[in-house]
Amino acid sequence: MSADRLDQAADLTTAMAEYSINTIRKLARADTSNPSGTCLFCEAETDLTRRWCDAACRDSWQRGEE
């Protein structure tokens, strides 16, 4: 392999890593509050900091079940 190809591969690897890090940082800053105060899946009452009432509802919601 020539040095140019190795440099291109290194540049691509760096760009992909930076993209992944930036995506994770955006997700970490995402708003996780739930102003409705109800579970997003079963609509049971929750506090304003929880999106689901339990892990089973969270998992079902993420799978798109009804």
Same domain, 37 and 26: no
pLDDT at 57: 94
Same domain, 41 and 14: no
Same domain, 47 and 59: yes
- pTM, to two decimals: 0.48
Same domain, 3 and 24: yes
Same domain, 23 and 37: no
Same domain, 41 and 58: yes
pLDDT at 28: 73
pLDDT at 38: 93
Q: What are the C-alpha distances in Å from 54 to residues 2, 39, 58? A: 54, 9, 6
Same domain, 22 and 46: no
pLDDT digits (tens, 9 = 90+) for 9-53: 999 999 999 999 998 888 777 666 778 889 999 999 998 888 899
In the chain, the number of structural domains is 2
Question: How many Cβ atoms sit within 10 Å of the Cβ of residue 14?
Answer: 10
pLDDT at 47: 86
Structural domain of residue 55, as residue ranges? Answer: 33-66
